[in-house]
């Protein structure tokens, strides 16, 4: 369940509330009973490492890199072995 941050409009009390995503937002301050509004909080979730949009996907590539990426590898040749059948000897 996510933690939502609220602030009271009257007493300016800031508080966090653990709520289900489907739960209605709070409307009253638990301290003074005044109206509250939900705050937009920053997250501690950070995408690190190669392959993420910020590091790889949005990178401008040279035409040579694009050719390498889109090049199709040639199919391997199938080697068919011929089996000798025993002839009537």
* Residue 24, domain member (yes or no): yes
* Residue 23, domain member (yes or no): yes
* Residue 47, domain member (yes or no): no
How many Å apart are CA 9 and CA 37, to the nearest integer?
A: 7
Q: Which pLDDT score is estimated for 11?
A: 94
* Residue 83, domain member (yes or no): no
Q: Which pLDDT score is estimated for 40?
A: 87
pTM of the shown model: 0.48
Q: What stretches in the chain show pLDDT beneath 50?
A: none
Q: Which pLDDT score is estimated for 14?
A: 94
Counting the structural domains of the chain, the total is: 1
Q: Which domain holds residue 10?
A: 3-39
Q: Which pLDDT score is estimated for 42?
A: 76
Q: Which pLDDT score is estimated for 60?
A: 61
């Amino acid at each position: 369940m996510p933690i939502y941050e609220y602030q009271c409009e009257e007493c300016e009390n800031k508080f966090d509330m653990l709520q289900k995503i489907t739960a209605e937002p709070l409307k009253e301050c638990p301290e003074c009973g005044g109206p509250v509004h939900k705050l937009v909080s920053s997250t501690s979730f950070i995408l690190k490492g190669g392959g993420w949009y910020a590091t790889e996907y949005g990178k401008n590539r040279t035409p040579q890199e694009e050719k390498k990426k889109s090049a199709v590898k040639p199919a391997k040749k199938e080697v068919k072995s011929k089996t000798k059948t025993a002839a009537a000897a």
